[in-house]
Amino acid sequence: MLRLVFGVLLLLQVAASGCADGTGTGAGGTGGTVQLEPGPTCIAFCAHVVGECEAFVFDEASCMQGCERDLADERAISEAWGVAVETVFQCATDLDCEGVYAWRDQEPAGSYPCRAEAANADEVCGRN
């Protein structure tokens, strides 16, 4: 599930394996992608995991757009799922950098940081 958060920003990998059927709800066509106004969760998450911890190779602006887009997509599928995934982002934001790396890598597998929040998001999504 936490990979969904990474599908969110790449991000990250969670959205790619989430509840959606893979069709997405983002803007397409010839105008490019609509820029979203990042909310406080995505701003804090990206400032910490990308800006401070350098846990990913993309920049903070890309992170914020991916994060906000994924949260919007998840909420469009289910408000409860969006809230559950947002809780994963909030949990990762509260980790020190070593915790962020363990969360990103899902190590150790059975007890990585924010695992309970990720498992809850999976459950809300119906992917137990």
Contact 117, 91 (CB under 8 A): yes
Contact 16, 3 (CB under 8 A): yes
pLDDT in tens for each of the 128 residues of the chain?
A: 444 444 443 334 333 334 554 444 444 334 556 788 899 999 999 999 999 999 999 999 999 999 999 999 999 999 999 999 999 999 999 999 999 999 999 999 989 999 999 999 989 987 65
Reply yes or no: is the peptide bond before residue 40 cis, omega within 30 of 0: no
Which residues, listed in sequence order, are joined to residue 12 by a DSSP beta bridge?
6, 9
Q: Tokens 């809300």 — which residue?
A: 124
Strands (E), 5-93: none
pLDDT digits over 45-69, tens only? 999 999 999 999 999 999 999 999 9
